[in-house]
Amino acid sequence: MACELILALDAPAPGDVAPVLRQLGGRVRWVKIGLEMFTACGPDCVREVAGLGFEVFLDLKLHDIPHTVARAVESAGRLPIGMLTVHAAGGPEMLRQAVAAQRQCSARLRLLGVTVLTSFRPEDLRAVGVGAALAAQVGHLAALAVEAGLGGVVCSPLEVAALRPQLPTALRIVTPGIRPAGAAGGDDQARVMTPAEAARAGADFIVVGRPVLKAPDPVAAAGAIIEELGSKSGQRDH
């Protein structure tokens, strides 16, 4: 499978990115709706974006007691979404109940276990009481996701190469923390790579937002990333 671009809709409402979405229809298949837009607009924003012909990755990073997360997965599963995130740090029982709820409500929905946020540095893990090395913690949480039956994991691109051989082939790796060459920094992400580097490492999906949304020519910016992924996915390091 070639690595694929997911466009992160980093905006309060679909209307704020509607011009870009109209331009990218037919070129970009997946878009990500995160907490900002979902909190502002609720489920209607998912329906609106899906109605434009895009596959929706709903990035809510659910993390609560098992029953609450399971019910939230059931609710989200009624929406036109293809991927949904839960925090793998919620533990085995939370993950198992989330998977059971997903299987009951939507066979096409892929649950993704978030490992360690791309904003985290080693000192951040220590600050929240985790003594493991960052890469080891990512591997541990990914193993919990696999054992519970999730369909994928989310990690920074820096952990992909080590993680990919440890995971079942069918399990997808989604990687935020992607910056195209020459893109400005200024966000919260600490562990980053270019699209080509992430594809070579073994990522199945990369998530890119502002470098496309804020580009003078979003179609050209997205096209350059897609072309880079197409040329590099066949040259993976593993």
What CATH number does the domain containing 173 carry? Answer: 3.20.20.70
Catalytic (active-site) positions = 61
Q: Minimum mean pLDDT among 76-80, 84-88, 178-182, 205-209: which range?
A: 178-182
Of residues 5 and 230, more confidently modeled: 5
- Domains contained in the chain, number: 1
Residue 185 has pLDDT above 80, yes or no: no
Using 50, 70 and 90 to split pLDDT, how confident is the model at 127? very high
Residue 234 has pLDDT above 60, yes or no: no
Write out pLDDT tens, residues 129-178.
999 999 999 999 999 999 999 999 999 999 999 999 999 999 999 999 89
pLDDT for position 101: 98
Using 50, 70 and 90 to split pLDDT, how confident is the model at 96? very high
Write out pLDDT tens, residues 6-44.
999 989 999 999 999 999 999 999 999 999 999 999 999
pLDDT for position 71: 98
pTM: 0.92
Secondary structure, 3-state, 28-74: CCEEEECHHHHHHHCHHHHHHHHHCCCEEEEEEEECCCHHHHHHHHH
Domain that holds residue 9: 4-235
